Amino acid sequence: MIPDTRSIIPDSSPVAPRPMVPPCPTPSAPDAPAFPPPPGGFRNPTTMHSRPAGDFMEHILAVARAEPVSASQIADIGEEVAEAEPIPECHIAPRELPAGTLLHGYRVQRCIGGGGFGVTYLAQESLLNRTVVIKESFPDSICYREEGSLDVRMHDPESGQDGYNWAMSNFLREVRLLATLDHPCIAKVYSYFEEHNTAYYVVEFINGVSLDKLAAQHAEKGIPIPQSSLFGLIVRLLDALDYLHGRKLLHRDIKPDNILITRAGLPVIIDFGAAREAYGDLSNNIVETPGFSPAEQSTPNGNMGPWTDIYALGATLYYTLTGTCLPPAKQRQIYDTADPLSTNTSLLSTYHPALLASIDRAISPLPEHRYQTIADWMRDLASTHL
């Protein structure tokens, strides 16, 4: 798991790299058909090399939007997820609510995550008998939970009040934003409530594993994620980001452990704590994860837009393919030590150069060298002469 290095204070500490993904034991030729065919095959049964761009676009959008494609396309990922271990328990005592706590009709099962701003629990909704995830607002620099009490208290009620109010309103903003979204690759919010002197929201439980873990499993076994599976994931994630950006929203914290892969192989984006309006300025706080966030995100009043999430998705894919985080983005702008994926011979034995080159472009240190919109990225995938 990637350590949670997300902070509101720019931090350039490197994230420990994982070993490189070893080369595929049964490499396919670099110019083998790059992307999987849609169900029933392409309408024009020519090779990928001579296919007109329109067909590619149609195919890409079909993969992104049409449900029937997903099952066959990413079935192998789904099988791996089914084998994977359940979400590990996480202890951040004395902050967390104890297992068994009854909270507004939900029975807390265990704590599954905790960052600087909140705690995440797995819980059972008693009435509907379903598993849910509950997020609790808990800015740990300001608040604590006394042993034996469920209430959240401020260390210093006078100096902490502003921070507490900010955290509560930011939390409500996060849930309101999530409540407006309806996309198969974005976790759905069910409800919001206030209790124990703090706030909670209930969100759909995604039964799967993080992309981080999935990539680690592949690295451990020495088997790269198959190109068709990777492509299915990329296109779906692009579609989800396109959906967000179309609503003028930025996620701002795309990284491998904020993407869960379901048992059906569908990637689902979670953790909208850092999301904000792309062109408004509702929350201009600096929130970044070194290795995944682009430079403009750690710059006060940095010019953020779709290219900001595009960098983070590219960095996520870079990590997924290499097992290594990119160096901090500001450092890359001065001297870039990251090797392009499209010249990595090991990766080229499994993935099409155009697919790797598109990720390279997404992670360009300078925003103007990246795709400016998700549609640009999709169009590039569609129109490249593969």
Q: Are 209 and 257 in contact (CB under 8 A)?
A: no
The residues pairing with 102 across neighbouring beta strands, listed in sequence order, are 107
288 makes contact, choosing from Mg ion, ligand ADP, none, with CB < 5 to 8 Å by partner type, with none
Closer Cβ to ligand ADP, 210 or 229, answer by number: 210
- Choose the stretch contacting ligand ADP; rule: CB under 6 A; options: 74-82, 205-213, 314-322, 341-349: 205-213
Closer Cβ to ligand ADP, 257 or 309, answer by number: 257
Closer Cβ to ligand ADP, 238 or 268, answer by number: 268
Closer Cβ to ligand ADP, 75 or 90, answer by number: 90
Pairing outcome for strands 143-145 and 208-210: unpaired
Which residue type does 170 have? N
Window 127 to 156, contacts with ligand ADP (CB under 6 A): 133
- Encoding tokens for residue 372? 């400016």
Window 321 to 350, contacts with ligand ADP (CB under 6 A): none
Which residue type does 379 have? R
- Choose the stretch contacting ligand ADP; rule: CB under 6 A; options: 166-174, 253-261, 314-322, 350-358: 253-261
Closer Cβ to ligand ADP, 4 or 151, answer by number: 4
Residue 218 Cβ vs ligand ADP, minimum distance, rounded to whole Å? 18
Closer Cβ to Mg ion, 258 or 324, answer by number: 258
Q: Which residue is nearest to ligand ADP (CB)?
A: 113
Residue 79 Cβ vs Mg ion, minimum distance, rounded to whole Å? 25
190 makes contact, choosing from ligand ADP, Mg ion, none, with CB < 5 to 8 Å by partner type, with none
Using CB under 6 A as the binding rule, whether residue 289 contacts ligand ADP is answered as no
Using CB under 6 A as the binding rule, whether residue 254 contacts ligand ADP is answered as no
The residues pairing with 118 across neighbouring beta strands, listed in sequence order, are 137
- Choose the stretch contacting ligand ADP; rule: CB under 6 A; options: 146-154, 204-212, 276-284, 361-369: 204-212
Q: Are 378 and 60 in contact (CB under 8 A)?
A: yes
Closer Cβ to ligand ADP, 13 or 44, answer by number: 13
Residue 14 Cβ vs ligand ADP, minimum distance, rounded to whole Å? 19
Number of chain residues interacting with ligand ADP (CB under 6 A):
21
Q: Give the x/- contact pattern for ligand ADP in 88-117, rule: CB under 6 A.
A: ------------------------xxxx--
Residue 163 Cβ vs ligand ADP, minimum distance, rounded to whole Å? 17
| Candidate list 198, 258, 342, 344; residue touching ligand ADP; CB under 6 A | 258
User: At a CB cut-off of 8 Å and minimum separation 6, what does 123 contact?
Assistant: 103, 106, 107, 108, 109, 131, 132, 133, 134, 202
Closer Cβ to ligand ADP, 205 or 318, answer by number: 205
Residue 372 CA to residue 19 CA, distance in Å, equals: 32
Closer Cβ to Mg ion, 228 or 258, answer by number: 258
133 makes contact, choosing from Mg ion, ligand ADP, none, with CB < 5 to 8 Å by partner type, with ligand ADP
User: At a CB cut-off of 8 Å and minimum separation 6, what does 100 contact?
Assistant: 107, 108
Q: Are 133 and 124 in contact (CB under 8 A)?
A: no
- Encoding tokens for residue 8? 């509101």
Q: How far apart, in Å, are the Cα atoms of 61 and each of 29, 32, 204, 362?
A: 26, 22, 26, 19
Using CB under 6 A as the binding rule, whether residue 206 contacts ligand ADP is answered as yes
| Candidate list 205, 243, 371, 377; residue touching ligand ADP; CB under 6 A | 205
Binding residues for Mg ion, rule: CB under 5 A, are 258, 271
Q: Among 85, 92, 125, 128, which Cα is nearest to 109's?
A: 125
Residues at the site binding ligand ADP, with contacts judged by CB under 6 A: 4, 87, 112-115, 118, 120, 133, 187, 203-206, 210, 257-258, 260, 270-271, 273
